[in-house]
Amino acid sequence: MRSLSGFDSVLKRMSGLFSERRLRLMFLASAVRTSDTQFRALYDMGRDSAYILDLHRIPEVYVQQSPRAYAMAIGFDEPFIVVSTGLLDLMDEEELRFVVGHETSHILSGHAVYGTMLQILTQLATRVAWIPLGYIGLRVIVAALEEWARKAEMSADRGGLLAGQDPDAALRALMKLAGGSRLHEMNIEAFLDQAREYDTAGDVRDGLLKVLNLLGTTHPFAVTRVAELDRWRRSGEYDAILAGNYPRREDDANAKISEEVKAAANSYRESWAQSQDPFIGVLRDVAEGAVNAGERIFNRFARREN
User: Is residue 84 within a helix (H) or strand (E), and if so which, with residue range?
Assistant: strand 80-84
**Does 270 qualify as catalytic in the annotation?**
no
The rounded distance, in Å, linking the Cα atoms of 247 and 254 is 12
The rounded distance, in Å, linking the Cα atoms of 195 and 221 is 10
User: Quick check: 97 and 164 in contact, CB under 8 A?
Assistant: yes
Q: Which residues make beta-bridge pairs with 33?
A: 62
Q: Which one is catalytic: 20, 60, 95, 103?
A: 103
The rounded distance, in Å, linking the Cα atoms of 222 and 193 is 13
Task: Render 1-19 in DSSP notation, one character per residue.
Answer: -TTSTTHHHHHHHHGGGT-
Axis-axis angle for helices 132-164, 93-109 (nearest 10) = 130
* Exposure b/e, 158-190, CB count within 10 A at least 16 = b: bbbbbbbebbebbbbbbbbbeeeeeeeeeebee
CB atoms within 10 A of CB 54: 8
Catalytic residues: 103
